[in-house]
Amino acid sequence: MSAAATPMRRAAIIGGGLAGSLLAILLARRGVDSVVIERATEAESRTPAGGRSINLALAARGLAALARAGVAAEVEPLLLPMRGRQVHQDGGERFLPYGQRRGEEIYSVARATLNGLLQDLARARFGVEYRYGQACVGVDIESARPIVAAPEGRYLLDADVVFATDGAGSAVRRGIAAAGHMQAREELLDHGYVELTVRPAADGGFALRPDALHIWPRGGFMLIALPNLDRSFTATLFLPLEGAKSFAALRGAKGKAAGAAHPSGAAAFFAEEFGDVAALIPNLAAELASRPVGTLGTVRCRPWRFKDRILLLGDAAHAIVPFHGQGMNAAFEDCAALDELVGRHGADWPRVLEALERGRLENADAIAEMALENYREMRDTVRSPNFELRRAIAFELERRFPERFVPRYSMVMFHPEISYAEAQRRGAIQADILAELAAAATSLEDVDFDRARELVETRLNTPR
């Protein structure tokens, strides 16, 4: 019997978020029917939930996966290009382009709108069945079937294969781990976040430069802002949960969860630290007081599979901190990798699941580490003069040796053909080279480019 004719053709997807919906589309294109179990109601899936990131940065890896699914043209009108970082500090601001090659930009996209579009496409174009308002509450370990709570009662979900894309707090992962069949660690960061809305300017235009991701780095904490199609920005304040400058301090002793606010104190802190943007947030005190503080963390899990029938993907397998803007991109890349394997092995699920995990694990580990490193860079390092020199040298080396030297940020954001693990490995070598060259120079003109050539040629092969 050919793969196309095998009966192993019904998949269950737990979680119809970004990864789950893209996966449903990719599977449908391969002739695999899916039923998607989604905890939220249909309306909730399209509404920004309090405390969730409202907009996200989409980059080349995510775009490549959307193109593979044939939905890039539908997504395109939702995207706002961001060509670099607009750094606000010391009373001024400056623009640092992300890359130097054509098209090296990332895109701000509203999470809820993208999620709604992918769900609509999955349902209307590919006939995927969504069961909204039903939640997976665990896994029947014996039969490796998800336990689903529906308004009518609980049931065991039958399918040939189950993909768990139920996000960082995955009930599937927790259920399997609790039974001792997975090792899962959830490492919370001691920083949380709150989202605030920067309204459009009085004339209806953007109040800040629209083609940039804005950053206000302040050492132990920071603010960022991404543009929205309605000409507002979503600003996200990242702050320690406890300590002198923290959500606890802003909101009072019980502050981090309860929101027992000191609105005027919080607004004063904000105005002192982020003066140029405070005036652009009309409801600042109320938003700071009332919006829930989101937590951030890294999920590390081994294995991602259970009994050759269940596979974790996206945040359920490897949630990461958001400071490289890659969580969704990595989740979409998982889906693309799975699609490639289904193309190669058909519905030989044990083989597909094993190969997916083998191919993606080290990449998930690599982006998790790089995302944590980027947090330090965004809060701190972008403020140091040496950062700019190293960045300038990196761009110069890319110009001189484009086949060998690609800045690590560019590898991660703009080069899906270079895996995360390879970007991390090459990035470490490049960091050594940059440190050596920058230590002996005060400006780009001082750099010893003969030595640079020697280092690049002996230490870096071509990545492709």
Strand partners, 196: 235
What are the φ and ψ backbone dihedral angles of 102, each rounded to 5 degrees? -55, 135
The full length of the chain comes to: 464
Q: Smallest gap, in angstroms, from Cβ of residue 330 to ligand FAD?
A: 7
CA–CA dist 53, 203 (Å, integer): 27
Q: Smallest gap, in angstroms, from Cβ of residue 241 to ligand FAD?
A: 14
State which of positions 186-215 bind ligand FAD (CB under 6 A).
193
The size of the interface with ligand FAD (CB under 6 A), counted in residues, is: 33
Selected from 11, 13, 27, 40, the binder of ligand FAD by CB under 6 A is 40
Name which of 298 and 346 has its Cβ closer to ligand FAD.
298
- Starting at the earlier edge strand, list the strands of the sheet with 183-198: 92-97, 84-89, 212-217, 222-227, 233-240, 183-198, 294-302
Selected from 11, 26, 32, 56, the binder of ligand FAD by CB under 6 A is 56
Residue pair 88/277 in contact (Cβ under 8 Å)? The answer is yes
Selected from 11, 12, 13, 18, the binder of ligand FAD by CB under 6 A is 18
128 binds ligand FAD (CB under 6 A): no
Residue in 50, 49, 34, 23 with CA at minimum distance from that of residue 131: 34
53 binds ligand FAD (CB under 6 A): yes
Name which of 14 and 159 has its Cβ closer to ligand FAD.
14
b/e string for 447-460 if b means 16 or more Cβ within 10 A?
A: beeeebeebbeeeb
State which of positions 236-295 bind ligand FAD (CB under 6 A).
236, 294
Residue pair 389/440 in contact (Cβ under 8 Å)? The answer is no
Name which of 109 and 452 has its Cβ closer to ligand FAD.
109
Name which of 86 and 329 has its Cβ closer to ligand FAD.
329
The site string for ligand FAD over 140-159 (x = CB under 6 A, - otherwise) reads --------------------
Question: Which residues have CB under 8 Å from 178's CB, separation 6+?
Answer: none
b/e string for 315-330 if b means 16 or more Cβ within 10 A?
A: bbbbbbbbbbbbbbbb
- Using omega within 30 degrees of 0 as the cis cutoff, is the peptide bond preceding 263 cis? no
Q: Smallest gap, in angstroms, from Cβ of residue 135 to ligand FAD?
A: 4
Name which of 57 and 347 has its Cβ closer to ligand FAD.
57
Name which of 51 and 252 has its Cβ closer to ligand FAD.
51
23 binds ligand FAD (CB under 6 A): no
105 binds ligand FAD (CB under 6 A): no
Q: Smallest gap, in angstroms, from Cβ of residue 14 to ligand FAD?
A: 5
- Region of 38-46, 254-262, 302-310, 435-443 interacting with ligand FAD (CB under 6 A): 38-46
Name which of 14 and 284 has its Cβ closer to ligand FAD.
14
Name which of 299 and 447 has its Cβ closer to ligand FAD.
299
State which of positions 327-386 bind ligand FAD (CB under 6 A).
327-329, 331
Q: Smallest gap, in angstroms, from Cβ of residue 124 to ligand FAD?
A: 18
Following CA atoms 377, 380, 384, 390 in sequence, which dihedral angle do they give, to the nearest 10 degrees? -10
Name which of 234 and 430 has its Cβ closer to ligand FAD.
234
Name which of 174 and 351 has its Cβ closer to ligand FAD.
174
460 binds ligand FAD (CB under 6 A): no
CA–CA dist 105, 98 (Å, integer): 7
- Region of 75-83, 164-172, 340-348, 368-376 interacting with ligand FAD (CB under 6 A): 164-172
Q: Smallest gap, in angstroms, from Cβ of residue 95 to ligand FAD?
A: 19
CA–CA dist 19, 462 (Å, integer): 32
Name which of 18 and 25 has its Cβ closer to ligand FAD.
18
Q: Smallest gap, in angstroms, from Cβ of residue 326 to ligand FAD?
A: 5
Selected from 107, 128, 139, 167, the binder of ligand FAD by CB under 6 A is 167
Helices (H), ranges, 346-419: 349-379, 385-400, 408-414
The position carrying tokens 């382009």 is 97
Question: Which residues have CB under 8 Å from 300's CB, separation 6+?
Answer: 184, 185, 187, 318, 365, 368
Q: Smallest gap, in angstroms, from Cβ of residue 62 to ligand FAD?
A: 6
Selected from 9, 11, 17, 393, the binder of ligand FAD by CB under 6 A is 17
Our measurement of the distance from residue 411's CA atom to the centroid of its chain's CA atoms, rounded to an integer in Å, reads: 16
b/e string for 158-178 if b means 16 or more Cβ within 10 A?
A: ebbbbbbbbbbebbbbbbbbe
Element spanning 97, H or E: strand 92-97
CA–CA dist 195, 225 (Å, integer): 9
The DSSP secondary structure of 203-230, one letter per residue, reads TSS-SS-TTEEEEEE-SS-EEEEEE-TT
Residues that bind ligand FAD (CB under 6 A): 14-20, 37-40, 53, 56-57, 135-136, 165-167, 171, 193, 236, 294, 314-316, 322, 325-329, 331
